[in-house]
């Protein structure tokens, strides 16, 4: 297509070409009537003659014209469906795309990733409320204006959910690396489709890598369909468990297990940012994009300070585990951070001291049980004496008889005489021996657990130590929760395990009780055959049993025997869009398991050098290998 730069279309002067894609060319233009700079997106001539392409451009014009948001590109004009040249006119953005920024200047920071995606959540929230799903969220479709304001653009494949329920066919339109599973398979779409793409973008900005990658688009699509991606923390250690949970919820393969609204997604990101002292505003983003290097240095300091303060609060509340996690995040950013290293040392000292106290108390409890048993035996002897007195036999004679009967041994109560308050003198001796006092003496602010003056007796040592009483640590909030599993049969469930937060449990029945600390946790099935994921809060558990649906993962087939370029044709059992479609043995798509256990399929393998072969197989969830022997064609 010849460039239109230097020409005029209607009232718009084409000044220069600034971008192009598979559907249109974008020019920087001048509106000669209103005397303002504009961007003119002109459909390629070979597409302008196709009805579907013109309809897509019209949909974009109609969709974006409804939207008025500071983070969405504003549309000014549209050529109309009958015009000779099909185009739309929008505001012109001086800046670069987010893709250019990621490729050239990104220094991954979880807080920056959350900040960018939170701002895009605000734009999508406005679009979703008007019934528009973008369907092609990716860095290329986000502009960064020179003042740092993000602009979401290119609603060209937007699906408008109106009263007529306008839908598109299951055709693949967009970038494979950012597609949601339902967009690939041709299943119904809704706002949650955009949330999956946002999750991919969040992962990429936080780690510098895409979650789903492969040697070709087919491999990428297979991994998306299977939910097969490495945890973000394994790519970038700065990513913490809180952000990983947000990413996991956004990237759930099943839309029902995903965030259900962009508002909820945005709220979680806002809370995440607030914890590290970052305000999710355009102004904050502007500071980052104007001077990224200086901003990242300042951000790291701010995050370290905020997390250290929150760790102190958590430690004071007795939530040592959360305090240590927060300090770990600080030390990933600054390994020599003085406040974090000092507090971490004190927390570790406290943990060691608590363990010593626990051991001492446990020993004391055992001793108390022994003494209680002895006391009960002594009481029994006294009872016997009383009964003997009632029969006229003297207590002295009974003791003499007992001594003779035991070859001179003393009775079981010897050395355990009750004190005035009814307690054993032996118990008092143990308590004053100094053993427990040694293990529970307090510490000063420097973390030194010494400082107690030596004394000749345990009582003196207790009186002279610096901190006579060590307050017990407060117990963090613990929630009991009943889980109910659905979707699969018990024998299948018993072969699986679930992770509740960081704890792993086997499944023995379709209902089980678990506990977790803090206000919420994640519950997931970690298995290559079945999947299940849910974010569970204390309120959910208090409301009643929490249902976790466990679903089979699609069958992933590896063919052993035929060449990689052998053609596989699915005749029955696969997705409708893949029936009688040629695929190669190497790139054969995953097959959904419909009934939860097996999926019967009929396949035909073909190769120019071999005789075709028909296969009927019951596929099971997850990866599996089909061994096939193909017979060479006769010359």
> How many other C-beta atoms lie within 10 A of the C-beta of residue 239?
23
Contact 93, 145 (CB under 8 A): yes
pLDDT of residue 89: 93
With vertex at residue 550, the alpha carbon angle to CA 544 and CA 551, rounded to the nearest 5 degrees, is: 145
> How many other C-beta atoms lie within 10 A of the C-beta of residue 409?
10
Question: Half-sphere exposure of 566 toward its Cβ, with a 13 Å CA cutoff?
Answer: 26
pLDDT of residue 483: 95
User: Is pLDDT at 142 greater than 90 in this prediction?
Assistant: yes
Helix 292-316 and helix 262-275, axial crossing angle in degrees, nearest 10:
80
pLDDT of residue 369: 64
User: Is pLDDT at 567 greater than 60 in this prediction?
Assistant: yes
Q: Name the band, by pLDDT with cuts 50, 70 and 90, for residue 419.
A: very low
User: Is pLDDT at 59 greater than 90 in this prediction?
Assistant: no
The architecture of the domain spanning 478-552 is Sandwich (2.60)
User: Is pLDDT at 453 greater than 80 in this prediction?
Assistant: no
The secondary structure element, H or E, covering residue 93 is none
Contact 240, 325 (CB under 8 A): yes
User: What is the biggest distance separating any 2 CA atoms in the chain, rounded to whole angstroms?
Assistant: 131
pLDDT digits (tens, 9 = 90+) for 510-530: 999 999 987 888 888 867 788
pLDDT of residue 378: 65
pLDDT digits (tens, 9 = 90+) for 202-245: 999 999 999 998 888 888 888 898 888 899 988 988 898 889 98
Task: Return the higher-pLDDT residue of 214 and 430.
Answer: 214
Lowest mean pLDDT among 151-165, 281-295, 449-463: 449-463
The string of DSSP letters for 122-164 reads HHHHHHHHTTEE----SGGGEEEETTS-EEE---TTPEE--TT
Contact 233, 239 (CB under 8 A): yes
- How far from each other are the two terminal CA atoms of the chain, in whole angstroms? 49
pLDDT digits (tens, 9 = 90+) for 235-271: 988 898 889 989 999 999 888 888 989 999 999 999 9
pLDDT of residue 415: 38
Q: Is 136 a catalytic residue?
A: yes
Question: Half-sphere exposure of 406 toward its Cβ, with a 13 Å CA cutoff?
Answer: 11
Task: Return the higher-pLDDT residue of 355 and 150.
Answer: 150
pLDDT of residue 353: 65
Percent of the chain scoring above 70 in pLDDT: 76
pLDDT digits (tens, 9 = 90+) for 3-44: 888 899 999 999 999 887 777 889 999 999 999 999 999 888
Beta bridge partners of 142: 152
pLDDT digits (tens, 9 = 90+) for 145-192: 999 999 999 875 555 443 333 333 334 445 788 989 988 777 778 899
pLDDT of residue 380: 59
With vertex at residue 537, the alpha carbon angle to CA 531 and CA 540, rounded to the nearest 5 degrees, is: 90
Q: Name the band, by pLDDT with cuts 50, 70 and 90, for residue 604.
A: very high
pLDDT of residue 440: 36
The CATH number of 96-289 is 1.10.510.10
Contact 521, 533 (CB under 8 A): no
- Copy the structure tokens of residue 55: 């309809």
Fold of 8-92: Phosphorylase Kinase; domain 1 (3.30.200)
Catalytic pick among 136, 226, 319, 439: 136
CA 222/CA 287 separation, integer angstroms: 39
- Over residues 345-365, the mean pLDDT reads 67
Residue from 585, 576, 570, 573 nearest 618 by CA: 573
pLDDT of residue 202: 97
Instruction: Find out if CATH 1.20.120 is the number for domain 292-347.
Output: no
CA 211/CA 200 separation, integer angstroms: 7
Whose tokens are 């009263």? That residue is: 163
Residue from 585, 573, 590 nearest 221 by CA: 590
């Amino acid at each position: 297509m010849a460039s239109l730069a230097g020409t005029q279309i209607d009232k718009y002067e084409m000044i220069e070409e600034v971008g192009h894609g598979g559907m249109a060319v974008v020019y920087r233009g001048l509106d000669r009537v209103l005397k303002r700079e504009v961007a003119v997106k002109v459909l390629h001539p070979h597409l302008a003659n196709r009805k579907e392409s013109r309809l897509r451009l019209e949909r974009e014009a109609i969709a974006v014209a409804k939207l008025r948001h500071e983070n969405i590109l504003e549309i000014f004009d549209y050529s109309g469906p009958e015009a000779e040249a099909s185009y739309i006119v929008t505001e012109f953005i001086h800046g670069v795309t987010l893709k250019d920024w990621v490729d050239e200047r990104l220094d991954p920071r979880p807080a920056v990733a959350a900040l960018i995606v939170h701002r895009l959540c605000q734009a999508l929230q406005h679009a979703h409320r008007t019934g528009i799903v973008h369907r092609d969220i990716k860095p290329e479709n986000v502009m960064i204006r020179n003042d740092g304001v993000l602009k979401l653009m290119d609603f060209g494949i937007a699906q408008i959910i109106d009263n007529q329920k306008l839908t598109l066919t299951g055709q693949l339109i967009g970038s494979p690396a950012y597609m949601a599973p339902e967009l690939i398979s041709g299943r119904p779409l809704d706002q949650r489709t955009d949330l999956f793409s946002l999750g991919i973008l969040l992962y990429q900005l936080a780690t510098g890598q895409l979650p789903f990658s492969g040697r070709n688009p087919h491999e990428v699509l297979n991994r998306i369909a299977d939910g097969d991606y490495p945890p973000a923390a394994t790519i970038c250690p700065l990513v913490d468990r809180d952000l990983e949970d947000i990413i996991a919820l956004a990237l759930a393969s099943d839309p029902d297990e995903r965030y259900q609204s962009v508002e909820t997604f945005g709220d979680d990101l806002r809370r995440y940012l607030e914890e590290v002292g970052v305000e999710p505003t355009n102004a904050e983003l502007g500071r980052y994009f104007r001077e990224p290097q200086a901003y990242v240095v300042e951000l790291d300091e701010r995050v370290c300070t905020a997390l250290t303060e929150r760790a102190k609060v958590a430690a004071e509340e007795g939530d040592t585990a959360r305090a240590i996690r927060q300090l770990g995040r600080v030390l990933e950013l600054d390994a020599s951070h003085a406040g974090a290293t000092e507090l971490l040392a004190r927390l570790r000292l406290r943990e060691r001291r608590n363990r010593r106290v626990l051991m001492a108390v446990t020993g004391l409890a055992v001793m108390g049980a022994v003494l209680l048993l002895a006391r009960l035996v002594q009481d029994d002897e006294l009872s016997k004496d009383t009964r003997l007195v009632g029969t006229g036999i003297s207590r002295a004679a009974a003791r003499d008889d007992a001594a003779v009967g035991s070859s001179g041994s003393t009775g079981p109560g010897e050395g355990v005489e009750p004190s005035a308050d009814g307690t054993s003198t032996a118990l008092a001796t143990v308590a004053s021996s100094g053993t427990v006092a040694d293990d529970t003496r307090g510490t000063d602010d420097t973390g030194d657990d010494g400082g107690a003056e030596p004394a000749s007796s345990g009582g003196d040592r207790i009186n002279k130590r610096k901190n006579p009483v060590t307050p017990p640590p407060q117990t963090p909030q613990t929630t009991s929760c009943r889980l109910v599993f659905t979707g699969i049969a018990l024998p299948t469930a018993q072969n699986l395990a679930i992770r509740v937060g960081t704890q792993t449990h086997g499944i023995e029945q379709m209902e089980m009780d678990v506990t977790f600390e803090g206000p919420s946790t994640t519950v997931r099935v970690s298995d290559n055959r079945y999947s299940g994921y849910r974010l569970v809060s204390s309120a959910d558990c208090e409301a009643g049993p929490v249902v976790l649906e466990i679903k089979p993962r699609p069958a992933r087939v590896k063919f052993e025997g035929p060449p990689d370029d052998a053609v596989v044709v699915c005749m029955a059992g696969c997705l409708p869009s893949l029936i009688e479609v040629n695929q190669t043995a190497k790139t054969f798509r995953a097959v959904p398991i419909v009934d939860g256990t097996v999926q019967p399929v009929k396949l035909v393998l073909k190769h120019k050098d071999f005789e075709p072969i028909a296969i009927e197989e019951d596929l099971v969830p997850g990866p599996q290998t089909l061994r096939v022997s193909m017979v060479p064609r006769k010359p």
